[in-house]
Amino acid sequence: MALAVCLLFDAKGDRAIRALWDQLETLGVPSLRSHTHGRHVPHLSYAVLRSWDLARVTAALSELEAGEPLDVSFDGIGLFRRGRAWLLAGVAADLATRQERIVRTVTATGAELHKHYLPGRWLPHCSLAPRAPLAQLPILAAAVYDVLPLSAQLSRAALINSATGDLWPLATLP
């Protein structure tokens, strides 16, 4: 179980990611659309917390100055261990600065940050398929490269419990 501080896409970007999830499902590649509770939303995570106090994290994030929406461009795919496939985003300096500020803010509440979200280790990405078998990677790659490059805007933010899909919108975009 984890709590993620997530950037959410505008309507156009959300539709594009969901369409890609649907295409993967049609091709027999299980995507985030059907993973676990089936309530996943297209997102890019600033931070993933292993332990937290929801009220404290929410309050701390509400104190941050609101930022402008971020434009992001996905131009490739990547793989983490165990076949987790994702869209690779370019890292603008502003995005990295914002992520560092979020990490400082949430860890100051006593929350435990997942090691892959430490500034300098963090790779901004949008998950596609959580456990793509090796034999399905060519199918996944072909489907993804049919829609790349994919440009979108990150226009909202939320806290999301990955175990349940529960989502708490943030009042501003940090």
In CATH, what number does 3-169 get? 3.90.1140.10
Cα separation, 86 vs 165, whole angstroms: 19
Confidence (pTM): 0.93
Residue 154: HSE in the Cβ half-sphere, 13 Å Cα cutoff: 30
Q: Where are the domains of the chain?
A: 3-169
SS3 content of the chain, % helix, strand, coil (to 5): 35, 30, 35
Using CA atoms, how far apart are residues 60 and 143, in angstroms rounded to an integer? 40
Q: Confidence class of residue 156 from pLDDT cuts 50, 70 and 90?
A: very high
Confidence of residue 92 (pLDDT cuts 50, 70, 90): confident
Reported as a single tens digit per residue, the pLDDT across 16-35 is 999 999 999 999 999 999 88
Mean pLDDT of 81-92: 88
Q: How many CB atoms lie within 10 A of CB 157?
A: 25
